[in-house]
A and B are shown apart, each in its own frame.
Chain A
C-alpha cells in the first residue's frame, strides 16, 4: 500500500503520452450533448461483429450467451456511476432496495441505452422463487437485425444486455445472475414476436439484507 502513495507522481509520467491537443479524458464533460445519439446501423454492424467474435471456439449456446454476458458486464458497472452523476444532485441516491434498483434499470438505464423505458417489470409469482424478478422488453434493440437460425433457437443475443443489467446489479451491491429468454413467437399473429424477458435472480444475501433493512425502517 505504501508504494501506492507515490509522493512523486512525475516518476510515473515517463511512459505517459498526452494527446497532441493536450486534452485528456479528464478534460471532457460528463454530461452528454443533445445530439450524442449513435446511428443504429453502425451499432448493428458492431454488434454483429461482437456476436461473431464471441462465437469463435464456443462449445454451445450457453457458452456463447455467457461470453456475450461477460462483454456487457463491465459496461453495466461503469454506467451505474455515470447514470447517477447525471441525475440532479437532489435525486443522486444510491439504490438501497431491490425495487429502487430495478426502477433505476427500467427507467434510467433503458432510456440511456435505448431511448425509451423497458416495457414491464414483474416479480416472480412463484412463492418458491421470491428472489426472481423479470424485466420485459417487447422489442430489444440489439435483436432488431438478428435472425436466429432454427438449430440455435435457444439463443437470444440480448444476453449482452443481460450482462449490462448484471453489471449494474453487481456494482450496486446486489449480486445477481441475469439471463435473457425469448418468450414471443410461439403463436401466429402475435404482436411482439421478439419479446424478451430478462430474468434477474438475486443472491440469497441480498434478500437477507433486504428483510433486515425493511425490518428497521
Chain B
C-alpha cells in the first residue's frame, strides 16, 4: 500500500506534498510508486480537484471520504474551513502478486479502500494533519497559500502516517 499526500491551496496551488507507504501489517513505511507513477500521482490528484469542488458544497463535513478513483488509485479528500484541501491518494497493492499473504492483507486497512475501517483510519490521519496545519498557519509569518516548508511539520505528517495508515 502506497500513499501520496498533498495539501492544495485556495488557488489550486500545491502547498505541501509527501509520499509514504503503509506501516501497518509489517510494512516498512516506504512508498512503492514507480518513477512514472510519481508524476502521474500529481496529475491524478490535480484532476480530482474538479470533483472536490462539486462535493464540498453539498456537505458541511470537512472529511469528504473517497471522492475520486482512477484505475487503482483512490483519492480521499478533507476540505478545511479556509477552503484548503488535503488530498490523499492511496493505491492498494496488486492482490494477485502478493501470493500467499493475500488472506492476511485482505483484512488490512488499505486492501479495501472503501471499507469503514479504512475511512476511519484516513479520517484520523487527516484530523491529526489538520491540527498541525492550523498550528502552521497560526504563525504570524505565514500567509495564506504559502508553501509549508517546516521540517517539523513534515515530520509530524510522517508520524501521523506511521500511526494510522
Co-complex (A, B): yes
Number of A-B contacts (CB under 8 A): 93
- Contact check: which of B17, B132, B133, B152 meets A4 at CB < 8 Å? B17
- Chain B residue numbers with a CB within 8 Å of A30 are 131, 134-135, 138
In the complex, per-residue mask of A1-41: 1 if CB is within 8 Å of any chain B CB, else 0: 10011100110110010000000111010100000000000
Chain A, Cβ-Cβ closest to B42:
A1
Within 8 A of A (CB), among B78-127: 79-83
Taking the closest CB of chain B, its distance from the CB of A78, in whole angstroms, is 5
Check A172/B82 contact, CB under 8 A, given A5-B19, A85-B131.
yes
Asked if B144 and A12 sit within 8 Å, CB to CB, the answer is no
Interface size class of chain A, counting residues whose CB lies under 8 Å from the partner chain: 35 or more
Asked if A16 and B151 sit within 8 Å, CB to CB, the answer is yes
Q: Tell me if A's interface is mostly helix, strand, loop or mixed.
A: helix
- In this complex, which of B17, B60, B131 has the most chain A Cβ atoms within 10 angstroms of its Cβ? B60
- Chain A residue numbers with a CB within 8 Å of B81 are 80-81, 83-85, 94, 171-172
Taking the closest CB of chain B, its distance from the CB of A72, in whole angstroms, is 14
- Chain A residue numbers with a CB within 8 Å of B151 are 9-10, 12-13, 16
- In this complex, which of B10, B18, B42, B81 has the most chain A Cβ atoms within 10 angstroms of its Cβ? B81
Chain A, Cβ-Cβ closest to B16:
A4
Check A25/B135 contact, CB under 8 A, given A9-B154, A9-B155, A85-B130.
yes
A173 near B: Cβ within 8 Å? yes
CA A9 to CA B155, docked complex, whole Å: 9
A-B pairs, 7 with minimum CB distance: A93-B60, A84-B81, A9-B151, A171-B82, A80-B81, A173-B83, A81-B81
Interface residues of B (CB under 8 A from A): 10, 14, 16-19, 42, 56-62, 79-83, 130-139, 143-144, 147, 149-156
Contacts A6-B154, A26-B153 known; 14 new A-B pairs at CB < 8 A: A1-B17, A26-B135, A28-B135, A74-B143, A74-B144, A77-B82, A78-B82, A81-B80, A81-B137, A84-B81, A92-B62, A171-B10, A171-B144, A172-B83
